[in-house]
A and B are shown apart, each in its own frame.
Chain A
Amino acid sequence: MADARAGAGTVTGPMVRAWIEKSAEVLAENRKYLTELDSPIGDSDHGNNMDRGYKAVVEKLPEGDDIGAMLKSVAMSLISKVGGAAGPLYGTMFLDGSKPLIGKTVVSGEELAQFFADAINGVKKRGRSDVGMKTMLDALAPASDAFRAEFAKDGDMPASLKAAAAAAKQGMEATIPMQAQRGRASYLGERSIGHQDPGATSSYLILQAFSDAVEEAAK
């Protein structure tokens, strides 16, 4: 664990493992909540699917500290276990984000910023979507921007991930007044207004888990 490059400004393999395990816990705790959010504007399965997916993620997570390999494994498990739109979207997100990180046991803030950017581009392309359409991108994109801005200040990784999670939470809440333009919620037209997007919510939960895991490790 005592990698020469590991320090306050980096994320290590064990931190990524802790993030993944914490995500699984949080999604299990929020299974009913996510499904309830999905009920008025979707098809009432998001919590069940994400919980099932992350259980498989933890089961199949490879040994070792290779961050890219872990994230790629997350992608493949989600692709094969989640279904719905969330499976391919989260799968593509982790798959595209993981590629430059294969073989790395420590990643810098710059590399993590690139991970967020690659991950988000993957989601945009696969889902033919963008910010403002009431999707997971509304949580992910502001989080990515906030991370980059905060890290640029003094390279404090826990603080930067905290800023990312806070921005994701704001982004998630900002989906409430939006009219959905993608996914099943879009079929409701104006009736989708007033509901928080389940995908943005699971994205926030995963980013909050990342922040919490790194903060605990840094203590």
Chain B
Amino acid sequence: MKKLINNAEDVTVEQLKGFGLACDDIDVHFDPNFVNVAGGVKDRVAIVSGGGSGHEPLHGGYVGLGMLDAACPGQVFTSPTPDQMFEAGKTVNGGRGILQIVKNYTGDVLNFQMAADMLRDEGIEVRNVIIDDDVALKDSLYTAGRRGLGTTVIAEKVCGAAAREGYDLDKLAALCKKVNIYGKSMGMALTSCTTPQNGTPSFDLPEDEMEIGIGIHGEPGTKRDKIKSADEVTAILAGRILEDEAYTRNLSEWDPAKGDWVDVEVTDITFQKGDEVIAIVNGMGGTPLSELYTVYAKLAELTAQHGVKIVRNLVGNYITSLEMAGVSITLVKTDEEILRLYDAPVKTPALRWGI
């Protein structure tokens, strides 16, 4: 393993230290670790997210004006713990409640639920919305369900803008759930990745093979295949996304009337001719930007063939897996509301426009 680190145990703290020094508008807190927008939040819903480290710029890179109010980084590829979200939530609470955007990984879901329970005990209203947009997984009955991928970035952008427009907590949670069912993603890996703690690759991937349906934690995907061309790989991923059938599953959410977590049945969309979408061609951390543009070229051709129009796009590293080489594609259907909020000004370390 070759890595630019000092001590493997210290990577998350050292990274946070540098992040804080590099970003003027962001406050960094240690023990428990979280980052938040400087100046705090007044008289509107605050938005908090988080997850394991190693996916940068997710989530800290999306803290700032028009997006997240706080982010809680866990250890590398390990979900953050409830005390982090608890302190972050208390810090950014602007008196109108907190929306927690949670990627669908068992650890993230459980830790954010415990944090929500703790914040509620402090008299702060909290809604958790789960993002589960990974079409690589077909069924949810016998698995922990689809994982959260690139739609998370769009949900954080759109909800961040909506919070600043004055959406109340229920309206904001409904918007976030809409973005989730409008979004579909799928990824693949050319190489594995190595966490600093372990020092060896998370899985073996021979030189002539690729892993289709990869998650973002170095966990193996759903299918191993011989390596193919960029166009063929793009066609596999885009094909699965564009042709994915409406997916029905139960997602856990807080029911304020019952005062308990309940399972709610959710069904997502299928892409139709005439749909307008935001597209992300996302690098997994070790993919040259040039290769991502090659993928984007094919994606634009395939969506056009499908009658789906890309109206906005992001090409680059937005939700990564350390140094893994690979790509994920995300398409999020838009409507007037989503597009207006997506275009609203944003000023964060990783996304910046309209300012």
Contact = CB atoms under 8 A, between A and B. Distances in A.
Q: Is this pair of chains taken from one and the same complex?
A: yes
Interface of A: 35, 39-40, 42-45, 48-49, 79-89, 91-92, 126-128, 179-184, 186-189, 191
7 contacts: A80-B83, A87-B107, A89-B110, A182-B144, A183-B106, A186-B142, A187-B215
Contacts of B114: 79, 88, 91-92
Interface in B108-137: 110-111, 113-114, 137
Interface residues on B, range: 35 or more
Given A87-B111, A179-B142, A187-B147, A80 B106 contact: no
Nearest to B74: A83
A182 to B, nearest CB: 6
Contact of B143 (A39, A126, A189): A189
A63 to B, nearest CB: 23
A179 B76 CA distance: 27
B91 interface: no
B270 interface: no
Interface in B45-67: 52
A191 B107 CA distance: 21
Interface string B196-227: 01100011000000000001011110100000
Contacts of B111: 83, 87-88
A104 B353 CA distance: 60
Given A43-B219, A79-B82, A183-B106, 16 more contacts: A40-B220, A42-B219, A43-B77, A43-B218, A80-B81, A80-B82, A80-B83, A83-B107, A84-B79, A84-B106, A84-B107, A87-B111, A182-B144, A184-B217, A186-B144, A187-B222
In the complex, the 7 A-B pairs of residues with the closest C-beta atoms, listed nearest first: A186-B143, A88-B110, A84-B107, A83-B78, A85-B106, A85-B107, A43-B217
B220 A191 contact: yes
A126 B109 CA distance: 10
A81 B128 CA distance: 22
B83 A79 contact: yes
A43 B78 CA distance: 8
Contact of B144 (A45, A88, A187): A187
Nearest to B215: A187
A189 B224 CA distance: 13
Contacts of A84: 78-79, 106-107
Nearest to A84: B107
B143 A181 contact: yes
Contacts of A42: 219
Contact of B106 (A79, A179, A182): A182
A40 B202 CA distance: 8
Interface string B7-39: 000000000000000000000000010000000
Contacts, number: 109
Interface in B233-260: 252
A89 B106 CA distance: 10
Nearest to B146: A187
Interface string B70-96: 000011111111110000000000000
Contacts of A39: 198, 202-203
A188 B219 CA distance: 9
Nearest to B140: A186
A49 B280 CA distance: 33
B202 A43 contact: yes
Contacts of B219: 42-43, 184, 187-188
B182 interface: no
B215 A83 contact: no
A87 B32 CA distance: 15
A86 B107 CA distance: 7
A82 B82 CA distance: 10
B105 interface: yes
B203 A40 contact: yes
Contact of A126 (B105, B110, B202, B203): B110
A126 B252 CA distance: 11
A184 B105 contact: yes
Contacts of B81: 79-83, 87
Contacts of A49: 75, 78
Contacts of B203: 39-40
B147 A88 contact: no
Contact of B137 (A45, A126, A180, A187): A187
